Structure formats: structure tokens, C-alpha cells
Amino acid sequence: MLTLSILAIMTKSVAAMAANRHYTAVARDAAPAGQFCGQVLETTEDLTEIEAMWKVPHATVPADEHDRSRSEQWVGIGGFEPDCAYRAYAGTMANAMGNETSYEFLCGTERYTLGITGEVKPGDDVHVKVVIEKPNVMTCYFENLTTGQKDHETVRTPDFFCRNSAQWLQQSELLNTDNEVYYPFSTFQFHSAKAKDKKGKTYDLTGSKSLTWQPKDGKQLCHPSDLAADSVTINYDGPN
């Protein structure tokens, strides 16, 4: 359930709002590290920006009245410092709740996610960018290249963001349970992938680490391939 404390740290950009839009905010714990699939680049300098383009994949996310499920594609700035609390990320997701599945842009952190419905669908080409404005303030920029629609959202957190890791990732999640899941999705490619640090240095996927998702039973369910300087293909390997 959405609480006032969650609402207090999420500031919607007034210019981005429209009457036909719907927002959902979800409290969540940090996702298990193994459920990520894609590329991660560690840096020595604090990052301030990350972005990429991709074609929104079609995801098969079963809707159930008792569970909330998601299949997500996102770019993020995170890290592994013990004294920082949040990853800043944005992207697209198939969001199943009850007997309905919607496709949304998403903007948020591990603990809170803001979903924006009605602006994206499978097959759309999108450009997504995250900018860390201050240690605890991030802005997500969205552009649907297929429809020409642009948008942005600003999120404030109680603590500061981790900033030494650039991330281009696919994730599946069954919220509020300990189940290990990975929902089928169509192959897609992150391209025009880049990041920037506080000194203005730019990065691409060169030197990044590839992450596959392989649950406890040992069967690989997702892997990256065809890695290039600014692009990588994300593949689903599990049952349909």
C-alpha cells in the first residue's frame, strides 16, 4: 500500500503531468542480485548520467490477483559502497497486477518505483536517460521515439545515491515473495549506451562485465550477447 512517506520522497515534475496519466508507487526491497541480466561497468569516479535506446520487448507476465509481477528493462547508476543506500534507474516494464498487464515507463530506486502508464507499448523505440542532479536527487528522462512523446520525472530520496557503477539490465520480479522467477520476453538490444562522470568523462560498454541470470537449479534463463562498444543484445533462454 502506498504510504505518505513514499509519496513524500517522490516529486513529480509538474511540466510532465497530463490528465490521462496514471502513477503507481510500489514499496520494494532490493532485488536479488542474480535476477539481473545485462552489462555493468564499474568506475572510479562518481557517475552523473547514463542512457540508452532500445525497442520495448514483449513480455509474458502472468497476472494473478495475489501477486504483483514485473518484467523490466532499465539503465541505472548504482554501486557497492557500504554507506550508500540507493540506485538511480529508469526504463520500461510490463507490470502485471490483478488480471491486467500494462506497459509503463519506470523511474525510481530499489526501494521505491514510480510507474507511468499509457505512454509506451511493445515494439516502441525508446530513449531513456538518468541524471543525478544532487547526491539525493535524480531525474529520469523518457522519449518514445515511435510516438514522439517526451517526459521526465524527478525523485528525491532520504539518503544519497551509489554512483560508481553504470548498469544496462533486464530484470524480472515477483514482488512480495521469495520466488525466483524470470518471465519470457522477446530479444531486444540496448544501443547508443553511454554514461558520464562528474568530471565530464564519457563511457560506453567497453570494459563492462556481462551478467547472466541462472537460478539455484542451475539452468540459465537470460544472457547478454553480441557485445559492442555501445550496444548489447539481451536474450531470454527459459521456457515459454
CATH number for position 144: 2.60.120.700
pTM over cut 0.85: no
Q: Are 77 and 47 in contact (CB under 8 A)?
A: yes
Task: Please check the confidence at residue 65 and state whether its pLDDT lies above 60.
Answer: no
- Domain housing 190: 4-236
Q: Give the integer Cα–Cα distance in Å for 194 and 161.
A: 19
- Phi then psi for residue 150, to 5 deg, are -120, 155
Number of structural domains the chain divides into: 1
Write out the three cell numbers for 166: 553504470
Percent of the chain at pLDDT > 70 equals 74
Q: Are 206 and 231 in contact (CB under 8 A)?
A: no
What does the pLDDT average to over 168-174?
Answer: 83
The pLDDT-based confidence of 197 (bands split at 50, 70, 90) is very high
Higher pLDDT, 98 or 106: 106
pLDDT recorded at residue 83: 63
**CA dist 201 → 47, 67, 81, 107, 221 (Å):** 9, 43, 21, 24, 35
Q: In what side-by-side order are the strands of the sheet with 100-108?
A: 23-27, 112-117, 100-108, 88-97, 68-78, 165-175, 36-42, 209-211
Amino acid at site 82: P
pLDDT recorded at residue 228: 98
pLDDT recorded at residue 158: 85
pLDDT recorded at residue 26: 40
Task: Please check the confidence at residue 28 and state whether its pLDDT lies above 70.
Answer: no
pLDDT recorded at residue 97: 74
Cell numbers 564519457 correspond to 202
Percent of the chain at pLDDT > 90 equals 45
Mean pLDDT over each residue of the chain, to the nearest integer: 79
Among 56, 64, 61, which Cα is nearest to 240's?
61
